[in-house]
Structure 1
Amino acid sequence: MPALAAAALLTGAAVQPAVSATPTRDERPIPASAPASASTSVDKERLDTSGKRSGPTGEDCADAAARARRAGGVKRAYGCLTRLSPAEGKAALRAAAASAGSASGVLAAPLPVNECTGDEDGYWYATRTMQCQIDPNVQYTYFDSNNQVKATALFATAQQLDLKVNSLQWTETDQITMLSHTGTLPAGLGVSWTTNCTAPCAPSSTKPWARTPIADSQNLKSTSTFVAQRPTSGYQYIDVDYQLSIGSPDAIDLLPPITWGGVEVRCDDQYAVTNTGGCVVPWYTPTLKLPRSEYGSSADMIEWAQHNLSGHWGLRGTGQPLHRLQGDSQRRANRNIICGNTKFTPDPNVQSDSCDEFPFAGTYETGALNGITHGKDCAQVTAVSAGTSGDLAVDWPTVTTVGTVTGSEKCVRGHIPAALNSDLGSTYGGFVVSARLGDNDPFWLSITF
């Protein structure tokens, strides 16, 4: 059968240096110069529920004004801070650009900028160590004592949290920009913003702005530092939420502040990764990228399995994520079931042949935990020689099947040159550290070129 590559296609917490996870057969020691491919994906993932934020609307403002009048009348000017729907926000942005004389629809005051630039829709986005949002849907409306609209102002908020996998300290940068306004706003219009984080976060509350004046086209920006109190065991989950009000001493605030959440930070100390503490965004699923140019037939074996076996392990869009298995003894037992000395016979036709298996013994998807008692019951493949350049990834780039494959096998076992097998294992070990994967944490796996 031909090669199958194309066929498949915390107060006072000290920061400690990062070190590798405890070496095992499936998370092999990381070389002094770890492969550059030991990376998490830089692609952001969206938290789909976060764009549906609740907040006062224009209808809430009208109802509040009516109640005030019935209670004795609004004797002086008042203001309402509301959240627009995404459609209303887009319409307001277009109107603001048009009022600024921009035929291209570009605002005179640009939206605030962070890692969510290009995704200014009010949703939270994240990588493993970053979470951000840009929300252009905040509006302030100013009424006189006769209930007539005197002015409006459109605002955008932006936030970005930057975490570290080897530190219990992180920063958050908050921004608010007045994108445009109509009419004459009340004197002393100012912003009040409070950030709250649950224990064990310190400080538990910060106030980047307290009635800080803001004017048309102005951007306010503030960076705060937070620390997780050193976890004693397991994980600590920290929720962060926000409160925003905009108003003036010359206008009654008819509505409560806008509030929102959607931020969760997970910290641990020597739990997910030995000898270091760190924090991640727990709902983000990172991607381990393995290039063929470095791992040759070892990478091809994985891609073949992802596309040709029913498990599709780690194949985003088709299969389910893989999940790290952290226990050393269990990993060794899994490895022995698939590749033990009495269960695998090296092939003299494969250079420095070694037993390579997928899903990894260091994942919960390993065949050894899913009904396989001997590696012979996995699908069998062997590396195919393509030359003698001295570059193993080039000389042994692909695999071909051995015997009959049904497609329903729960694993694949391959005859793969030892260096390719070992280097790929080291990269998985580096990925565990760079993504701070804990026990049962999910991850995707992508074979690249």
Structure 2
Amino acid sequence: MSIRRVAAACLASAFLVAGFTASASERSNGTAEKPIDGRRFVEPEVKPKSAPDAMELKGPSCAAVERDPQRYMKPGETVAVCFDSEAPKSLTGKRGLAASKPESEPKRNPRAASGDGTVWCDDQEDNTIWYTRTELCAVHDHYIVVVNKNGAPIGYADGTVKQEIDTVNTSTHFQEYLYYKLKDAIGDAKSITVEISAACRPGPAECHQGPGPWEGKAPMVPGTSLDGTWLREWTGTTYQRNLELVYTLGVTVDNGIEVGSGEAVWGYNTADEWKVRCDNRVGTQAGCVVPAYTPTFNINWEKYPGANAYIYAAQWKIKTHPGKEGSGEPLHREADFTTAVRNRTKVCDGSFKVQDNFTGMVDDRYIPAEFQCDEYPFAKSKESGGQLKIDSGKECKQYALWPGYTNPAKYSIMEAHAPHGAADCARATMDKRGNEGVGGDLGRFTVSQRLLDDDAYWVHAEYILNE
């Protein structure tokens, strides 16, 4: 048998050992990655995350207001106003809002929206906050109920708030677009005024906030809308600051007969997602991100096929599946340089021996200029083997780089001659270009995502059938 055929047999075994073949359960539930061939690496589209519980409106429930309306009335008011995220029970059996028509075509409020109310999460589930590392977006509906002093509802309205917050990872300025529409109303809720306010905590000393989308109380009738923009700036100069956003929607009824008001509050006081973090600790420029979002570091499998195959194999072999979304927990940045060096020294210690599977196997032009010890999880992560109280890197899983069978430049990975250790870490003989290339990409990813110490991130290595 030729050396090339021996290598092919070894590589075939390596695919099985390293986890390149899906198990029966993975094939049945569709979770196994599919081989990719003949494609170029493209950074995957960012997938937004959601938090359904983040849109809860804070304020007295309409059931509570109907039981004791005068408790919620201010001096001089004759009605109380409350908010519900769902259709109030008292609306059951009454003429529905959708069927209600204004007595005449409403005149468009001169302060009405100049925009069309479009936000990027329009096609996502309503009453949920959607977010990426640089954006927050929400579309939430609510009901407004007007209750007289006897506890009887005498008016209903249906409104929608849309919000989109955009940050920039190289700027301390960020903006928010807010849109409000009074979709329909019946009874004493057919003519109201609406005002919106926001707090950017901890306040002006750290967060400068410009004028709101509209000023004061804006009169509205069914079918009209309002919109505008908030401009905000982190005014701090050192370290980092979480800027917490809290909103208050106020509605007033004053039709010459009945007078009353109410408000609903939402934001950081109800969900941690309503937060922007700004810092000047990463890169050369200060910037802001949405810290609730855990970003994904995608390994460039086209440029670094060996490193990609190694990380894929290590994530499956290590029982904790470090960094693999859906199977394990994310990695966390280790920002201390000294600790990162100590981590690497521990994993890639004197027990590591280069395993050269290229010399004498392939043409010289395919032999890497230099081999290095490559550790996973990364030395610059809290999950590094160096922080697992191991005595030596030989306690980690052991891998080695191999040339591809039909294309020697398309590197693969297999278990090294050295036996696997029991610790939840791995090390491999890797080409310098792959090891340092992925490390450089990780550094740029750290800056672009503004990862601070202990910030979480996923690592995605693609399944590529390297032949």
Which letter maps to 2:298?
A: K
Mapped pair 1:426 → 2:440: yes
Contact 1:266 1:280 in 2 (8 A): yes
Which letter maps to 1:356?
A: D
Specify the alignment match of 1:278 in structure 2.
Answer: 287
Specify the alignment match of 1:119 in structure 2.
Answer: 124
Instruction: Determine the C-alpha separation between the residues in 2 that align with 1:181 and 1:115.
Output: 27
Mapped pair 1:360 → 2:366: no
**Offset, 1:405:** 5.7
Specify the alignment match of 1:82 in structure 2.
Answer: 83
Specify the alignment match of 1:229 in structure 2.
Answer: 235
* SS of alignment partner, residue 303 of structure 2: helix
Contact 2:190 2:222 in 1 (8 A): no
Distance 1:155 1:407, change over 3 A: farther
Instruction: Determine the C-alpha separation between the residues in 1 that align with 2:149 and 2:417.
Output: 86
Specify the alignment match of 2:245 in structure 1.
Answer: 240
Instruction: Determine the C-alpha separation between the residues in 2 that align with 1:347 and 1:415.
Output: 8
Instruction: Determine the C-alpha separation between the residues in 2 that align with 1:7 and 1:68.
Output: 64
Q: 5 Å matches for 1:100-249?
A: 112-136=117-141, 138-142=142-146, 149-183=153-187, 185-187=189-191, 189-198=192-201, 199=203, 200-204=205-209, 206-209=211-214, 210-232=216-238, 234-249=239-254
Distance 1:302 1:225, change over 3 A: same
Specify the alignment match of 1:252 in structure 2.
Answer: 259
**Offset, 1:66:** 5.4
Distance 1:56 1:146, change over 3 A: closer
Contact 1:5 1:399 in 2 (8 A): no
Q: Where in structure 2 are there 5+ consecutive unaligned residues?
A: 1-12, 24-39, 102-115, 269-273, 360-366
Alignment deviations for residues 340-362 of structure 1 (CA, whole Å, 9 cap, x no partner): 57743351527323322100111
Contact 1:372 1:410 in 2 (8 A): no
Instruction: Determine the C-alpha separation between the residues in 1 that align with 2:92 and 2:63.
Output: 17
Which letter maps to 1:231?
A: T
Distance 1:83 1:150, change over 3 A: closer
Which letter maps to 2:402?
A: V
Tell me the percent identity.
Answer: 23
**Offset, 1:85:** 3.6
**Offset, 1:337:** 2.5
Instruction: Determine the C-alpha separation between the residues in 2 that align with 1:277 and 1:124.
Output: 26
- The count of residues paired between Structure 1 and Structure 2 equals 399
Which letter maps to 2:447?
A: V
Specify the alignment match of 1:46 in structure 2.
Answer: 50
Alignment deviations for residues 211-242 of structure 1 (CA, whole Å, 9 cap, x no partner): 1122322231111110111332x321211111
Specify the alignment match of 2:307 in structure 1.
Answer: 298
* SS of alignment partner, residue 203 of structure 1: strand
1:436 to 435, 450, 458: 450
Instruction: Determine the C-alpha separation between the residues in 1 that align with 2:184 and 2:211.
Output: 27
* SS of alignment partner, residue 231 of structure 1: coil
Contact 2:395 2:420 in 1 (8 A): no
Instruction: Determine the C-alpha separation between the residues in 2 that align with 1:369 and 1:377.
Output: 13
Instruction: Determine the C-alpha separation between the residues in 2 that align with 1:300 and 1:208.
Output: 50
Which letter maps to 2:309?
A: D
* SS of alignment partner, residue 61 of structure 1: helix
Distance 1:122 1:368, change over 3 A: same
* SS of alignment partner, residue 248 of structure 1: strand
Specify the alignment match of 1:320 in structure 2.
Answer: 329
Alignment deviations for residues 19-60 of structure 1 (CA, whole Å, 9 cap, x no partner): xxxxxxxxxxxxxxxx98677x62222335423443232213
Instruction: Determine the C-alpha separation between the residues in 2 that align with 1:192 and 1:83.
Output: 17
* SS of alignment partner, residue 294 of structure 1: coil
Instruction: Determine the C-alpha separation between the residues in 2 that align with 1:346 and 1:143.
Output: 79
TM-score after normalising by structure 1: 0.78
1:267 to 255, 266, 278: 278
Alignment deviations for residues 293-344 of structure 1 (CA, whole Å, 9 cap, x no partner): 3321211111111112112101122211101111222222322232357743
Instruction: Determine the C-alpha separation between the residues in 2 that align with 1:2 and 1:201.
Output: 55
Instruction: Determine the C-alpha separation between the residues in 2 that align with 1:378 and 1:8.
Output: 23
* SS of alignment partner, residue 157 of structure 1: strand
Q: Where in structure 1 are there 5+ consecutive unaligned residues?
A: 10-34, 101-110
Specify the alignment match of 2:6 in structure 1.
Answer: none
Contact 2:56 2:85 in 1 (8 A): no
Distance 1:429 1:403, change over 3 A: same
**Offset, 1:267:** 1.4
* SS of alignment partner, residue 161 of structure 1: strand
Question: Which of 329-338 and 202-211 deviates more?
Answer: 202-211
Alignment deviations for residues 237-267 of structure 1 (CA, whole Å, 9 cap, x no partner): 2111111112233242254x11112221211
Instruction: Determine the C-alpha separation between the residues in 1 that align with 2:152 and 2:67.
Output: 14
Instruction: Determine the C-alpha separation between the residues in 1 that align with 2:146 and 2:445.
Output: 53
Distance 1:91 1:170, change over 3 A: farther
RMSD: 3.5
* SS of alignment partner, residue 208 of structure 1: coil
TM-score after normalising by structure 2: 0.75
Distance 1:405 1:64, change over 3 A: farther
Contact 2:343 2:386 in 1 (8 A): yes
Instruction: Determine the C-alpha separation between the residues in 1 that align with 2:72 and 2:432.
Output: 78
Contact 2:80 2:149 in 1 (8 A): no
Distance 1:400 1:46, change over 3 A: same
